[in-house]
C-alpha cells in the first residue's frame, strides 16, 4: 500500500473516530434533555428541571469537545483529500455548506441561550432553546449522513466535461434512499449512547446512595429510551440498512458476513475468524440458512460470496470489516437484552433495589461508544476500495502533493492534542458527575443569586 495513501486514510479515520465520540452523546442527550424539560414543564416538577440542568452541564462540556474536534473534518476534505474534493465537491459541497448554514448557526446561537440564558428566559423560552439545540444537532447529523450516502450510493449527479461530478437533481441527492435508513440507524445509535450514559450515571448514584431522587429519574428515562432505541436499532433500521447493503453493495455484504463462497441457504456466522488465505471461517459458530433469510427472506436464497466478485473490488481490509460488523451486531443484541430485563424490573418496581442490575447498567456506559464506532467502521471499510462507490477509488482521492511525511507530522500532532483533550474532558465530566445534580440546581434557583 502506498504509504501516503495509508497516512491520509489513517488521518481521516483517526480524527473522524475521535470526533464522533462527542456528537453521538450530544445528539442523544439533546433529545433526552428535551424530554426531561418537557416533563418538568408539564408536571411543574422542579426535580425534572434540576435533572435537565445537570445534564445541560454535561452536555456543555461534551458539546465543546464535539465542536473543536469537528472543525478539522471539514478542512480535511481539502487538505488531505483534495482530489476527491475536486471530483465530488460540486455535489457534496451542497450538504456540507448546508450543514454550516442551517445546522451550525442554529445550534451555536441557541447553545449560548440554553447554557447561559435560563435566568434571562421564561421557562417556555428556555425549553425552545433546548429544542432548537436538539433540532440543530439532529439536522447536522442528516447533512453528514446525506454526504456519506452519496459516497456509498451516488445519485442525483452528472459527470461534467472535465470529469468532475456535478449536481443534476438536488432532491434526488438530498433524499438519497441510502441516507434515510442510514440516518435512522445512526440516530438510534446516538440515542442509545445518550440513554446508556444517563442510566449509567443514575445507577452510579443509586449504588453510592447519593442524589437518589434524581438518580431514579435518570435510570427510568435512560432505561425506557435505551430499550426503545435498542429495539429500533435492530428493527426496522438495522434490518433495512442491511437490505440496502445486500442490494447495492453485495460484495460488501459478503465481506462483512465472511461469506467467501456463493451458496444457497447461506449460514449466518455468529463468531469465528475469517481466514482470507484459505477462504474460510475458522472455528465457526453459525446459524444455517439465516443469512439467506435476512438478505432475501427465503431459506434457500442464493447469497453471493466474495468469489462472485473480481478481487480488485473486494473491500481491502476484510478481517477488520468483519470484526467491526460483528462487534456492532453483537453489542446491539446485548443492548436489547440488558434494557429489556431492566425495563421488566422497572415495571415490577424492583429496578432501583436490584444492585446486580444497577452494576450492569453502570458498567455498560462505554459499550454504545464501541458499537457506534464499529458501526461507522463497517460502513466506511465496507465502502472500500471506493471513495465514491463505483466512481472513484480511494487511492485516487488523496492530495498527491502532501507527502506521507507531512501527513504523519500532522497526524501525530492530532494524536497528541486529542489525547490531552480526552484526558481533560474525562476529568471535567467526572467532576460534574461527582458534584451531582443538586449543586447545579441550588446556584440556579437561589433568588438572591438571581437578583445580582
Footprint of other proteins on 136-175 (CB under 8 A): 158, 160, 164, 166-168, 170
Interaction residues for other proteins, span 120-139 (CB under 8 A): 120
Alpha carbon distances (Å) from 356 to 22, 330, 351, 362: 29, 22, 10, 10
Shortest Å, Cβ 176 to other proteins: 15
- 91 contributes a contact to other proteins by CB under 8 A: yes
Q: Which stretch in 102-110, 254-262, 278-286, 384-392 sits in contact with other proteins by CB under 8 A?
A: 102-110
**In the complex, minimum distance from the CB of residue 401 to other proteins, in angstroms, rounded to a whole number:** 4
Report, in Å, the least distance between residue 240 CB and other proteins.
28
The 3-state secondary structure of 333-392 reads: HHHHHHHHHHHHHHHCCCHHHCHHHHHHHHHCCHHHHHHHHHHHHHHHHHHCCEEECCCE
Give the nearest distance from C-beta 420 to other proteins in angstroms.
Answer: 9
Which part of the chain contacts other proteins (CB under 8 A), choosing from 42-50, 351-359, 376-384, 411-419? Answer: 411-419
Only one of the segments 90-98, 183-191, 241-249, 371-379 lies at the binding site for other proteins (rule: CB under 8 A); that segment is 90-98
Instruction: Choose which of 79, 241, 252, 394 interacts with other proteins (CB under 8 A).
Output: 79
Instruction: Confirm or reject binding of residue 405 to other proteins (CB under 8 A).
Output: no
- Number of residues counted as binding other proteins (CB under 8 A): 72
Q: Does 423 bind other proteins (CB under 8 A)?
A: no
19 to 1, 163, 317, 428: CA distances (angstroms) = 26, 32, 22, 17
Q: Should residue 436 be labelled a site residue for other proteins when binding is judged by CB under 8 A?
A: no
Query: 307 or 446, CB closer to other proteins?
Result: 446
Instruction: Provide the minimum distance between the beta carbon of 72 and other proteins in the complex, in angstroms, as a whole number.
Output: 5
Q: How far is the CB of 89 from other proteins (least distance, A)?
A: 2
- If one asks whether residue 417 binds other proteins (CB under 8 A), the answer comes out as yes
CA 360 to chain centre: 22
Q: Strand runs (DSSP E) across 187-262, as ranges?
A: none
DSSP-derived letter for residue 429 is H
Conformation bin of residue 376: beta by default, left when phi > 0, alpha when psi is -120 to 50: alpha
Contact range with other proteins by CB under 8 A, out of 44-52, 82-90, 179-187, 371-379: 82-90
Alpha helix stretches (DSSP H) within 233-365: 239-248, 250-257, 290-296, 318-347, 355-363
Minimum distance from residue 140 beta carbon to other proteins (Å): 11
Nearer to other proteins, 305 or 397 (CB): 397
Q: How far apart are CA 63 and CA 60, in angstroms?
A: 5
Of 88 and 259, nearer to other proteins (C-beta) is: 88
Beta bridge partners of 287: 268
Interaction between residue 449 and other proteins (CB under 8 A) = yes
The answer to whether 111 contacts other proteins (rule: CB under 8 A) is: yes
Nearer to other proteins, 33 or 206 (CB): 33
Residues 330-389 that bind other proteins (CB under 8 A): none
Strand-pair partners of 388: 392
Specify the DSSP class assigned to residue 267.
P
Distances (CA, A) of 343 to 168, 302, 449: 48, 39, 40
282 forms bridges with which residues in the sheet? 273
Q: Which residue of 3, 44, 108, 396 would you call a contact of other proteins, by CB under 8 A? A: 108
Q: How far is the CB of 28 from other proteins (least distance, A)?
A: 20
Phi, psi of 209, rounded to the nearest 5 degrees: 70, 25
The residue within the footprint of other proteins, chosen from 10, 35, 38, 83 (CB under 8 A), is: 83
Give CB contacts under 8 A, 24+ apart, made by 102-106. 102/139, 102/143, 103/136, 103/137, 103/139, 103/140, 103/143, 104/136, 104/140, 106/132, 106/135, 106/136, 106/139
Q: Does 106 bind other proteins (CB under 8 A)?
A: yes
Q: For residue 397, what are the CA distances in angstroms to 9, 14, 87, 163, 393? A: 10, 18, 8, 13, 7
Amino acid at each position: 500500500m502506498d504509504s501516503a495513501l495509508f497516512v491520509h486514510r489513517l488521518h481521516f479515520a483517526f480524527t473522524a473516530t475521535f470526533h464522533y465520540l462527542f456528537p453521538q452523546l450530544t445528539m442523544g442527550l439533546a433529545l433526552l434533555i428535551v424530554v426531561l424539560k418537557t416533563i418538568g414543564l408539564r408536571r411543574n416538577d422542579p426535580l425534572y428541571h434540576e435533572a435537565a440542568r445537570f445534564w445541560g452541564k454535561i452536555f456543555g462540556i461534551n458539546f465543546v469537545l464535539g465542536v473543536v474536534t469537528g472543525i478539522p473534518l471539514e478542512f480535511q476534505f481539502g487538505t488531505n483529500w483534495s482530489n476527491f474534493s475536486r471530483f465530488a465537491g460540486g455535489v457534496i459541497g451542497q450538504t456540507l455548506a448546508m450543514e454550516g448554514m442551517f445546522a451550525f448557526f442554529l445550534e451555536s446561537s441557541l447553545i449560548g441561550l440554553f447554557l447561559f440564558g435560563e435566568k434571562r428566559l421564561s421557562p417556555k423560552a428556555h425549553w425552545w432553546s433546548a429544542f432548537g439545540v436538539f433540532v440543530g444537532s439532529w439536522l447536522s447529523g442528516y447533512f453528514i449522513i446525506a454526504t456519506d450516502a452519496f459516497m456509498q450510493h451516488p445519485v442525483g449527479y452528472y459527470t461534467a466535461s472535465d470529469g468532475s461530478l456535478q449536481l443534476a437533481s438536488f432532491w434526488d441527492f438530498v433524499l438519497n434512499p441510502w441516507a434515510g435508513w442510514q440516518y435512522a440507524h445512526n440516530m438510534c445509535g446516538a440515542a442509545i449512547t445518550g440513554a446508556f450514559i444517563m442510566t449509567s450515571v443514575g445507577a452510579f448514584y443509586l449504588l453510592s446512595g447519593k442524589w437518589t431522587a434524581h438518580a431514579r429519574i435518570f435510570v427510568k428515562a435512560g432505561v425506557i429510551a435505551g430499550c426503545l432505541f435498542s429495539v429500533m436499532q435492530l428493527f426496522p433500521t438495522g434490518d433495512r440498512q442491511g437490505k440496502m447493503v445486500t442490494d447495492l453493495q453485495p460484495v460488501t455484504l459478503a465481506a462483512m458476513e465472511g461469506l467467501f463462497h456463493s451458496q444457497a441457504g447461506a449460514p449466518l456466522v455468529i463468531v469465528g475468524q475469517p481466514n482470507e488465505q484459505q477462504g474460510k471461517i475458522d472455528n465457526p459458530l453459525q446459524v444455517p440458512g439465516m443469512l439467506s433469510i435476512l438478505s432475501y427472506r427465503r431459506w434457500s436464497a442464493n447469497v453471493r460470496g466474495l468469489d462472485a466478485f473480481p478481487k480488485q473490488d473486494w473491500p481491502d481490509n476484510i478481517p477488520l470489516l468483519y470484526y467491526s460488523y460483528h462487534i456492532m451486531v453483537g453489542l446491539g443484541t446485548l443492548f436489547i437484552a440488558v434494557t429489556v430485563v431492566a425495563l421488566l424490573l422497572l415495571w415490577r418496581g424492583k429496578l432501583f433495589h436490584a444492585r446486580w442490575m444497577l452494576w450492569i447498567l453502570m458498567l455498560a456506559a462505554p459499550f454504545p461508544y464501541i458499537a457506534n464506532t464499529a458501526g461507522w467502521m463497517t460502513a466506511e471499510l465496507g465502502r472500500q476500495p471506493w471513495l465514491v462507490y463505483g466512481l472513484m477509488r480511494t487511492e485516487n482521492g488523496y492530495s498527491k502533493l502532501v507527502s506521507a511525511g507531512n501527513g504523519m507530522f500532522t497526524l501525530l500532532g492530532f494524536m497528541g492534542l486529542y489525547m490531552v483533550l480526552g484526558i481533560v474532558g474525562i476529568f471535567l465530566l467526572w467532576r460534574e458527575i461527582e458534584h451531582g445534580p443538586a449543586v447545579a440546581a441550588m446556584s440556579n434557583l437561589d433568588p438572591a443569586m438571581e437578583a445580582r
